[in-house]
Amino acid sequence: MDALARTQPLIRIRDTASVMDAARLMSDLSIRALGVDDETYSFVGLFTERDLMWVIAQGKDPHRTTIHEVMNDLPVIVDGPLTQQQAAAQMLGAHIRHVLVRERDELRITAARDLIPGVAGAAAVARVASVAELRHMFGDAVLEHPAVMATGVRRERHP
Protein backbone atom coordinates (compact mmCIF):
# COMPACT_ATOMS: atom_id res chain seq x y z
CA MET A 1 0.00 0.00 0.00
CA ASP A 2 1.25 3.48 -0.88
CA ALA A 3 2.26 5.63 2.09
CA LEU A 4 0.34 8.79 2.86
CA ALA A 5 1.89 12.02 1.65
CA ARG A 6 3.34 14.09 4.47
CA THR A 7 1.56 17.43 4.78
CA GLN A 8 2.48 20.57 6.69
CA PRO A 9 0.31 23.39 7.98
CA LEU A 10 -0.09 26.08 5.32
CA ILE A 11 1.45 29.33 6.59
CA ARG A 12 -0.49 32.28 5.20
CA ILE A 13 0.19 35.91 4.33
CA ARG A 14 -2.06 38.78 3.25
CA ASP A 15 -2.32 39.47 -0.47
CA THR A 16 -1.38 43.11 0.13
CA ALA A 17 2.02 42.16 1.58
CA SER A 18 5.08 42.84 -0.55
CA VAL A 19 7.02 40.10 -2.28
CA MET A 20 9.98 41.10 -0.09
CA ASP A 21 7.91 40.49 3.06
CA ALA A 22 6.95 37.06 1.72
CA ALA A 23 10.57 36.26 0.85
CA ARG A 24 11.70 37.18 4.37
CA LEU A 25 8.95 35.11 5.97
CA MET A 26 9.72 32.12 3.75
CA SER A 27 13.43 32.43 4.52
CA ASP A 28 12.86 32.78 8.28
CA LEU A 29 10.62 29.71 8.36
CA SER A 30 12.60 27.68 5.79
CA ILE A 31 9.52 27.14 3.63
CA ARG A 32 9.03 27.48 -0.09
CA ALA A 33 5.36 28.42 -0.36
CA LEU A 34 2.79 30.56 1.41
CA GLY A 35 -0.97 30.55 1.33
CA VAL A 36 -2.43 33.94 0.46
CA ASP A 37 -5.44 35.51 2.22
CA ASP A 38 -7.54 38.51 1.24
CA GLU A 39 -8.78 41.26 3.57
CA THR A 40 -11.44 38.92 5.04
CA TYR A 41 -8.75 36.30 5.74
CA SER A 42 -10.24 34.03 3.10
CA PHE A 43 -7.79 31.89 1.15
CA VAL A 44 -7.28 33.30 -2.36
CA GLY A 45 -4.07 31.76 -3.70
CA LEU A 46 -0.57 30.41 -3.34
CA PHE A 47 2.79 32.21 -3.52
CA THR A 48 5.86 30.04 -4.15
CA GLU A 49 9.59 30.41 -4.69
CA ARG A 50 8.88 30.28 -8.43
CA ASP A 51 6.78 33.44 -8.11
CA LEU A 52 9.64 35.11 -6.27
CA MET A 53 12.09 34.11 -9.00
CA TRP A 54 9.71 35.45 -11.66
CA VAL A 55 9.53 38.84 -9.90
CA ILE A 56 13.32 39.07 -9.85
CA ALA A 57 13.73 37.82 -13.43
CA GLN A 58 11.23 40.41 -14.67
CA GLY A 59 13.14 43.20 -12.93
CA LYS A 60 10.19 44.07 -10.71
CA ASP A 61 10.81 45.73 -7.36
CA PRO A 62 10.06 43.11 -4.67
CA HIS A 63 9.47 45.94 -2.17
CA ARG A 64 6.67 47.43 -4.30
CA THR A 65 5.23 44.32 -5.94
CA THR A 66 2.38 42.82 -3.92
CA ILE A 67 1.71 39.14 -3.49
CA HIS A 68 -1.68 39.63 -5.16
CA GLU A 69 0.05 40.71 -8.39
CA VAL A 70 2.07 37.51 -8.79
CA MET A 71 0.38 34.72 -6.81
CA ASN A 72 -1.26 31.66 -8.33
CA ASP A 73 -4.97 32.22 -7.79
CA LEU A 74 -5.91 28.72 -8.99
CA PRO A 75 -3.74 26.32 -6.98
CA VAL A 76 -4.50 22.60 -6.98
CA ILE A 77 -6.55 21.69 -3.89
CA VAL A 78 -7.53 18.10 -3.16
CA ASP A 79 -9.38 16.44 -0.32
CA GLY A 80 -7.14 14.40 1.95
CA PRO A 81 -5.77 12.16 3.06
CA LEU A 82 -3.58 11.81 -0.01
CA THR A 83 -1.09 9.06 -0.82
CA GLN A 84 2.41 9.83 -2.08
CA GLN A 85 1.45 8.37 -5.45
CA GLN A 86 -1.67 10.55 -5.68
CA ALA A 87 0.31 13.65 -4.70
CA ALA A 88 3.00 12.89 -7.29
CA ALA A 89 0.35 12.33 -9.97
CA GLN A 90 -1.28 15.69 -9.16
CA MET A 91 2.07 17.47 -9.35
CA LEU A 92 3.17 15.80 -12.57
CA GLY A 93 -0.21 16.31 -14.21
CA ALA A 94 -0.34 20.02 -13.42
CA HIS A 95 3.43 20.69 -13.72
CA ILE A 96 3.59 22.02 -10.17
CA ARG A 97 5.65 21.42 -7.03
CA HIS A 98 2.99 22.00 -4.36
CA VAL A 99 -0.45 20.52 -3.75
CA LEU A 100 -2.83 21.88 -1.16
CA VAL A 101 -4.65 19.22 0.84
CA ARG A 102 -7.93 19.88 2.63
CA GLU A 103 -7.93 17.78 5.81
CA ARG A 104 -10.70 18.24 8.38
CA ASP A 105 -11.51 21.89 7.64
CA GLU A 106 -7.79 22.75 7.52
CA LEU A 107 -5.77 23.62 4.44
CA ARG A 108 -2.36 21.91 4.46
CA ILE A 109 0.41 21.63 1.89
CA THR A 110 2.62 18.91 0.49
CA ALA A 111 5.57 19.57 -1.78
CA ALA A 112 7.56 17.54 -4.27
CA ARG A 113 10.50 17.59 -1.87
CA ASP A 114 8.27 15.94 0.77
CA LEU A 115 7.91 12.95 -1.55
CA ILE A 116 11.66 12.49 -2.04
CA PRO A 117 12.36 10.43 1.13
CA GLY A 118 9.84 7.79 0.02
CA VAL A 119 11.20 7.72 -3.52
CA ALA A 120 14.83 7.77 -2.38
CA GLY A 121 14.17 4.94 0.05
CA ALA A 122 12.58 2.85 -2.68
CA ALA A 123 15.49 3.60 -5.02
CA ALA A 124 18.02 2.58 -2.37
CA VAL A 125 16.21 -0.71 -1.83
CA ALA A 126 16.09 -1.29 -5.60
CA ARG A 127 19.83 -0.57 -5.91
CA VAL A 128 20.68 -2.94 -3.08
CA ALA A 129 18.44 -5.60 -4.62
CA SER A 130 20.08 -5.03 -8.01
CA VAL A 131 23.62 -5.34 -6.61
CA ALA A 132 22.62 -8.48 -4.71
CA GLU A 133 21.11 -9.89 -7.88
CA LEU A 134 24.25 -9.03 -9.90
CA ARG A 135 26.46 -10.61 -7.27
CA HIS A 136 24.32 -13.75 -7.34
CA MET A 137 24.44 -13.94 -11.13
CA PHE A 138 28.05 -12.96 -11.81
CA GLY A 139 29.93 -13.12 -8.54
CA ASP A 140 32.04 -10.31 -7.13
CA ALA A 141 33.82 -9.63 -10.44
CA VAL A 142 30.89 -7.58 -11.74
CA LEU A 143 31.31 -5.10 -8.89
CA GLU A 144 34.64 -3.98 -10.40
CA HIS A 145 32.87 -2.66 -13.52
CA PRO A 146 32.99 1.19 -13.79
CA ALA A 147 29.23 1.43 -14.26
CA VAL A 148 28.65 -0.41 -11.00
CA MET A 149 31.35 1.57 -9.21
CA ALA A 150 29.59 4.79 -10.31
CA THR A 151 26.53 3.80 -8.27
CA GLY A 152 28.49 4.34 -5.09
CA VAL A 153 28.68 0.64 -4.24
CA ARG A 154 32.16 -0.17 -3.01
CA ARG A 155 33.62 -3.62 -2.65
CA GLU A 156 35.92 -4.12 0.28
CA ARG A 157 39.17 -5.84 -0.64
CA HIS A 158 40.42 -8.43 1.77
CA PRO A 159 44.10 -9.52 1.79
pLDDT (tens digit, 9 = 90+) per residue, 23-57?
999 999 999 999 999 999 999 999 999 999 999 99
Q: Which residue has the higher pLDDT, 138 or 93?
A: 93
Mean pLDDT is lowest, of 17-26, 77-86, 133-142, for: 133-142
Give yes or no for a contact between 31 and 19, defined as CB atoms under 8 angstroms apart.
no
Q: Which residue ranges make up each domain of the chain?
A: 8-114, 116-149
In angstroms, the CA 131 to CA 152 distance is 11
Q: Please say whether the dihedral angle defined by the alpha carbons of residues 50, 53, 55 and 58, taken in this order, is positive or negative.
A: negative
Sign of CA dihedral 109, 112, 36, 82: negative
pTM for the structure as a whole: 0.71
Tell me the three state secondary structure of residue 106: strand
State pLDDT tens for residues 48-86: 999 999 999 999 999 999 999 999 999 999 998 888 888
CA pseudo-torsion sign 95, 96, 101, 107:
negative
The answer, yes or no, to whether residue 135 has pLDDT greater than 70, is no
Domain 8-114 is classified in which CATH homologous superfamily?
CBS-domain (3.10.580.10)
- Residue 121 pLDDT: 52
